[in-house]
Structure 1
Amino acid sequence: MSSEHDRAVLQAIFNPNTPFGDIPGLNQEDDLTDDDSGFDRELLMQVKQLELQGVSAAEAGDLQGALLRFGQAIHALPRRASAYNNRAQALRLQGNTAEAMEDLGRAISLSGGSGRTMCQALVQRGLLLRLAGRDEEAREDFERAATLGSEFARQQAVALNPYAALCNRMLTEVINKLRNPDMADVPDMQ
């Protein structure tokens, strides 16, 4: 039986363009949960229902309805991060990135540094930062989300890290030369 480290090494050898340690099917983000223990159980259930209705509305293209539901959820439990994260997504879909960034900041702050919402909000904010050309800040958010278990965030952080990209390119060349030793003496035309 192979260890997690063994699988990571094999992954790097056979798929050199993926981040080292990126093992398919090993996404810790799936295991994350938010700590909702400080909220009234009945009110929490109502808020979760409002959020589900908001997500359904957004998926149906009704962004106004989604924003209304997320706003109701925030009004009912203003110290719960999830509705801010969801509302940020709807705001982003509307093209309102400034307010989306505000909601993501609130979601991150209220998450207390852990949980599913924290991870999702960091990834979402990282994507918005990257679109705005603020790559260093985006990389920081992706790295934080990666430590929480997001494989997508880990891939984005590596893509934004020039040293990792150079290492991946060099490793790819070495692997290709090992696979095709006859091509090792052919000059690179790039």
Structure 2
Amino acid sequence: MATANDRAVLRAILNPDSPLGDLPRPDQDQEDAQEDEVEPFAPALLEQVRELELQGVSAAESGDVSVALERFGEAIRLLPERASGYNNRAQALRLCGDVAGALRDLDTAVRLSRGRGRAACQSFVQRGLIRRLQGRQEDARRDWEQAARLGSAFARRQLVLLNPYSALCNQMLGQMLGRLRNPSGTGSE
């Protein structure tokens, strides 16, 4: 069962108003297909798949990850060549503790999207998050570099956090701004 923190992370990833708002929602994937020059899907089938994905997202947000997995699985069965379904299922798998399954789905989403467009961007970000949690900093960095090239502000922020020189510069800048705000401080450092 998904914890409150897991649901908050899921909402942040799938909610465009969250701090991770540069990540796409499943209902934006039709634009991805046009951006990526992928052969168009049959409109009625695409609409059905998009509805299944939205149902899956709603189920996951309400804590019913098993229903979410069912909906994402149905969407993938209907359009197995569409990256968005794998990307969304990866989040549900991660919530269930199946990190290996989530990584497989994210790899599939990257492959299907050919590393381009919103679905790829979201997949790189999510895969980078998992890899960071696994302590695989260099793999996370590579994923976030790809996502940053695709326009992810979140990935750019993560790259800065991974850079120890940036952290040191931020610390020094903070100290300098503190002295500017409080010039009557002790000044002995």
Question: Could you say which TM-score interval applies, normalised by the shorter chain?
Answer: 0.7 to 0.9
Name 2:33's counterpart in structure 1. 35
What is the letter of the counterpart of residue 120 of structure 1? Q
Which residue does 1:55 correspond to in 2?
A: 57
Q: Is the contact made by 2:89 and 2:102 (CA closer than 8 Å) also made in structure 1?
A: yes
2:109/2:120 contact within 8 Å kept? yes
Q: Deviations over 1:49-91 (max 9, x none)?
A: 1111111221222222111111111111111100000000000
CA distance in 2, matches of 1:117, 1:91: 17
| Structure 2 unpaired stretches of 5+ | 1-18
Q: Which residue of 2 is the match for residue 160 of structure 1?
A: 162
Amino acid at match of 1:158: V
Runs of 4+ in 1 over 6 A off after TM superposition: none
2:86 matched to 1:88?
no
Q: Does 1:128 align with 2:130?
A: yes
Q: Identity, % of aligned pairs?
A: 56
Distance in 1, matches of 2:156 and 2:186, equals: 32
Number of the residue aligned with 1:103: 105
Q: Which is bigger in relative contact order (C-alpha 8 A, separation at least 6)?
A: 1
Deviation at 1:160, TM superposition (A): 0.8
- Structure 1 residues 59 and 40: alpha-carbon distance in aligned structure 2, compared to 1, 3 A threshold: same
Structure 1: runs of 5 or more not aligned = 1-24
Contact 2:22 2:154 (8 Å CA) reproduced: no
Tell me the SS of whatever aligns to 1:183.
coil
Separation in structure 1 between the aligned mates of residue 145 and residue 181 of structure 2, nearest angstrom: 33
Candidates 141, 144, 158, aligned match of 1:142: 144
Q: Deviations over 1:131-178 (max 9, x none)?
A: 101111112212221222222221111111112112222222333333
TM-score, with length taken from structure 1: 0.76
Calculate the aligned-residue CA RMSD, in Å: 2.3
2:80 aligns with one of 73, 78, 99: 78
Cα deviation code 1:95-124 (max 9, x no counterpart): 100000000011111112222211111111
Judge conservation of contact 1:28–1:148 (CA < 8 Å) in 2. Answer: no
Larger radius of gyration, structure 1 or 2? 1
- CA pair 158-34 structure 1, distance change in 2 beyond 3 A: same
Task: State the number of aligned residues.
Answer: 162
Q: Which amino acid aligns with 1:35?
A: A
Between 71-80 and 91-100, report the one with greater CA deviation: 71-80
Distance (whole Å) between structure 1 residues aligned to residue 98 and residue 23 of structure 2: 27
